[in-house]
Amino acid sequence: MNIVPLVKEHYPKVAQIYAEGLHSGMASFEVHIPDWETWNTKFFEQCRYVVFKENELVAWCALSVVSKRAVYHGVAENTIYVSQKARGLGIGKQLLTHLITKSEEAGFWTLQAGIFTQNKPSIELHKHCGFRIVGTREKIAQRDGIWHDNVLMERRSKLVSYMKNILVLCTGNSCRSQMAHGYLKQMAGNKAAIYSAGIETHGINPGAAATMKKDGIDIMEHTSNHVDEYEGIDWDYIITVCDHAYENCPFIPAPNAIRLHHNFYDPSKFEGSQEDTEAAFAKARDEIKEYCHNFITTHF
């Protein structure tokens, strides 16, 4: 078996295999075989492949556009057809695996497929290649006057690094959580989106802002937010930085989140001279900075 890029010269055989699939009545809503120019316009120029077995073209695959919006440039719909006489030989799995590899090399992070519910072999093929069922589009379109359901499947590349969502939580989102927010934002860079919140909102503590500025981080641009404002965000990490927030925080539904807790020294409650107060804030800052450094080193 040999997998090679699909070119115009292959299209007569590709069209023949395409026709076999359409005639089955469960491969596509299409009922007519397009000419080369129409087919060529529909599919991406990259990631088109055919399979030769004993010098005969027996399968083909390609990717098509899901949306023309720029944010979806890494999302494509995959199409794969295997000739009737070559089915059951594992060719489809090898070809789809090859397509996945090449699509990742080309920068696609998500492949999706819409499959007729009765096309069980295709659904199982995609499952074996890492696709999951997202849902079913009920009676999404007609073919030959009959409404059909479509199973929507997708595969997300594990090679793509996604930004993690990190929530830092304390009582008033004023001091310790804000300092951790500042350090994590600096240390994580484009690897994570950092949020901080409180179970109350007390505004930015001037002492926290001053001690952070001495270390080159301006947190005065931050806002003091209530945890309820971030409802619906899919958290990867939830870090509580004081015992009161840990013990009294409302339930945050985040089944995939890693939850961490560390009760940091609270300088906002310190009473003393200006010099001693600044030293108290510096102590908390340095403790939080070390924790954030260890967190990033361990989890990123």
The CA radius of gyration of the chain, in Å to the nearest whole number, is 28
Which residues are catalytically annotated?
A: 170, 242, 249
The phi and psi torsions of 166 (rounded to 5 degrees) equal -120, 125
User: Alpha-carbon distance 129 to 133, whole Å?
Assistant: 12
193: helix, strand or coil? strand
Phi, psi values for residue 143, rounded to 5°: -135, 120
What is the four-CA torsion angle of 11, 14, 16, 21, rounded to 10 degrees? -150
Altogether, the residues listed in the chain come to a count of 300
Residue spans of alpha helices (H) in the chain: 11-23, 36-42, 91-105, 120-128, 176-188, 206-214, 243-248, 274-299
Strand, helix or coil at 131? coil
| Cα(177)–Cα(185) distance, integer angstroms | 12
- The one-letter amino acid at 218: D
Q: State the residue for tokens 């090449």.
A: 102
CA-based torsion, 278, 283, 288, 289: positive or negative: positive
Beta strands across the sheet bearing 132-143: 2-5, 49-53, 56-65, 75-82, 110-116, 146-156, 132-143
